[in-house]
Amino acid sequence: MNIEKQREFIEKVKNMNVGKNLKYSIFTMGCQLNENDSEKLCGMLENMKYTKTDQISESDFIIFNTCCVRENAEDKLFGKLGEVKKIKEQKGTIIAICGCMMQEKHIVEKIKKSYPFVDILFGTHTLHKLPEDLYTVICEKTKLQDIIDIDGEVIEGLPIKRNDKIKASVTIMNGCNNFCSYCIVPYVRGRERSRNPEDIINEIEELAKQGYKEVTLLGQNVNSYKGNGNLGITKFSELLRAVNKIQGIERIRFVSPHPKDFSDDVIEAIRDCEKVCKIIHLPLQSGNTQILKKMNRKYTKEQYLELVDKMKAKIPGLSLSTDIIVGFPEETDENFEDTLDVVDKVHFEQVYMFIYSRRVGTPADTMQNQVPEPIKHVRFDKLKALVEKQIDENNKKYVGTTQKVLVEGKSKTNDKMLTGRTDSNKVVNFEGSEELIGNVVNLKIVSEHMWYLKGEL
C-alpha cells in the first residue's frame, strides 16, 4: 500500500513542530510484534520532530501501544492512565492509545467513558495513520477514534527507529488464522497476511549494511508464511534459506512457529542453514490431548512428542523453548499431569508459563467448569518448580563448555561487565573491552546462576 499520503502528513506535522523541542514517551505492552510496531511509531514520531524521553512528566505526546492477550496486560494500561491525566492537565499533553486492546469494543467504550481525556484511539489496522490522526487532533483540537475491523493491508516503507543496534526484529506476517479457543489475537490482529519476500529480504539486507548481526523473524504463526514466489520464495523454509545467504547477518531466530505446521522442509532448512540458531520456540500450551482438542491446537500429546523427537534427530544440538497455559477450562489434575510429563520428557531450555486468563469473545470464555483461581495457582507453582529444577540442571551442563556469544552491550547492572547471548539464547555476562560489542566471541562458561551464566574470554 502507498504511504505517500502519510508522508505528507509527517511533513505537515514536522513543519508545525520545528523549533519547539517537543518530547514524547511511549509505553509498549505485549509481544515482540508490538515492540516492532512501536519501533515504527517511534520512527514516525521522530520524523515529525518529537524526541524520545523517559521523563513522562515532560512529554508533549504520550502513546500506549497495548496488549490484551491476558488480563494483567490490560490492567497495566488502566494503572498508567490515571498518572497521565495529571500531566495532561498541567502541560496539555496529547495522549494516544493504540494496539490490540483498541480492537476490543468493550475496552474502547470503557476508555471513552472513564478516561475521556484521551485524544487519539487507533487500532492495529490503522497504525500507519498516526501522522494523519495526530495532524487532525492538533489542528482541529478534537478527539479522534480511528479503529477499523477490516484487516489492514501490509504497509511497507514506514520510517523506523530501532531499539537496538545489533539485534533487529523483522515482522514477516501479520494476523493469525488458528483461533485457539483461549486466544484473542485472531480477533484483534485479523487474518494472516504475509509480506512480500522481496520487501523482507531488502529490509534485512539494509540491516546487514547498517551493521546488524542478528535478525528475529516475527509472526503469530511464522511457518504458515506464504510468499508470492518472487525470489523463488513461496514458503517459510525458502525464506529461511534466503535470509541465511545475506552477508553480514550472523544469527537468525524466529517466533512463533505452530507445531501443526512444522513440516519436514522447515526442519531441513533449520538443519542446513548455519546461521539459524538451533533453539526453536515450539509452543506446547498443554500436554494433554483432550485439553489440546478443546484448545483447538490440532495436535495430540503424542504428535507433539513425535515432532520433538524428529526435530532432535534431524538437527544436531537442538534445544527447545515453549509456552504453557495452566488452568484452561475443564483441566483436571490428571490432565495437568500430562503437561508436567511432557516438560519432564522434553527438557526445555526455557518455558514461558501463563495462568489461563478469560478473554471476552473467545470460545473458552463461555466454557463450563472454569478452573478456580487457587487451583490454577497451585498448578502454576508445581510447573514452575519443575521448570526451575530443569533450568538449574541445564545451566550446570554449560559450566566448563565454550560458547559462541554475540556481544550485545554493557551489562545493565554492572558497568564493567559485557553481556551477550549464546546461540541457545542464554544470557552470558563477562569482563571485556567495549570494542567487542557486536562481535561473536568464544567464552568459557565459569559459573551458572538461575537467569544467566558467567563467562571468560
Question: Which of ligand SF4, ligand F3S, ligand SAH, none binds 239 (CB below 5-8 Å, type-dependent)?
Answer: none
Residue 239 parent element (H or E): helix 236-244
Task: Provide, rounded to whole angstroms, the least separation between the CB of residue 185 and ligand F3S.
Answer: 5
What are the DSSP E strand ranges found in 120-197? 120-122, 144-146, 167-171, 173-174, 193-194
* Residue 258 touches ligand SF4, criterion: CB under 6 A: yes
**Long-range contacts made by residues 302-308, C-beta under 8 angstroms, separation at least 24?**
303/259, 304/259, 304/342, 305/342, 305/345, 305/346, 307/259, 307/262, 307/282, 308/282, 308/346
CB-nearer residue toward ligand SF4: 171 or 178: 178
Among ligand F3S, ligand SF4, ligand SAH, none, residue 70 binds (CB under 5-8 Å by kind): ligand SAH
Amino acid at 167: K
> Which residue is closest to ligand F3S by CB?
30
Distance between CA atoms of residues 366 and 432, nearest Å: 55
Determine the Cα–Cα distance for residues 450 and 442; give it in Å rounded to an integer.
Answer: 21
Q: Which of 403, 394, 257, 253 lies closest to 322, judged by CA?
A: 257
Report in angstroms how near the CB of residue 368 gets to ligand SF4 at its nearest: 21
Least CB distance to ligand SAH at residue 46 (A): 29
- Residue identified by cell 534427530 is 313
Residues that bind ligand SAH (CB under 6 A): 69-70, 182-183, 185, 220-221, 256, 258, 283, 285, 323, 325, 354, 356-357, 359
Out of ligand SF4, ligand SAH, ligand F3S, none, which partner does residue 186 contact, by CB within 5 to 8 A per kind?
ligand SF4
> Does 188 sit near ligand SF4 (CB under 6 A)?
no
**Residue showing cell 520433538:** 308
59 versus 220: smaller Cβ distance to ligand SAH: 220
Of the pair 67, 342, the CB lying nearest ligand F3S is at 67
Distance CA 213, CA 145 (A): 39
Backbone dihedral region of 157: left (phi > 0), alpha (psi from -120 to 50 degrees) or beta? left
Q: How many CB atoms lie within 10 A of CB 53?
A: 15
Q: Per CB under 6 A, does 294 bind ligand SF4?
A: no
Instruction: For ligand F3S, give the closer residue by CB, 38 or 424.
Output: 38
Q: Does 68 bind ligand F3S (CB under 6 A)?
A: yes
Contacted by 376, from ligand SF4, ligand F3S, ligand SAH, none: CB < 5 to 8 Å by type: none
What burial class does residue 234 get, using C-beta atoms within 10 Å of its C-beta: 0-12 exposed, 13-18 middle, 19+ buried?
middle
Q: What burial letters (b/e) apply to 127-165, b meaning 16+ CB within 10 Å?
A: bbbbbbbbbbbbeeeeebebbeeeebeebbebbbebeee
Confirm if 292 and 285 have CB atoms less than 8 A apart: yes
Query: From ligand F3S, ligand SAH, ligand SF4, none, which one binds at residue 356 (CB under 5 to 8 Å depending on kind)?
Result: ligand SAH
Cβ distance to ligand F3S smaller for residue 124 or 335: 124
Closest CB 69 distance from ligand SAH, rounded Å: 5
The region of 182-190, 195-203, 228-236, 367-375 touching ligand F3S under the rule CB under 6 A is: 182-190
> Using the 8-state DSSP alphabet, how is residue 424 labeled?
T
179 binds, among ligand SAH, ligand SF4, ligand F3S, none (CB under 5 to 8 A by kind): ligand SF4
Site for ligand F3S contains 320 (CB under 6 A): no
Binding mask 168-187 for ligand SF4 (x = CB under 6 A): --------x-xxx--x-xx-
Question: Site residues (CB under 6 A) for ligand F3S?
Answer: 30-31, 33-34, 67-69, 100, 184-185, 188-189
Q: Which residues bind ligand SF4 (CB under 6 A)?
A: 176, 178-180, 183, 185-186, 220-221, 258
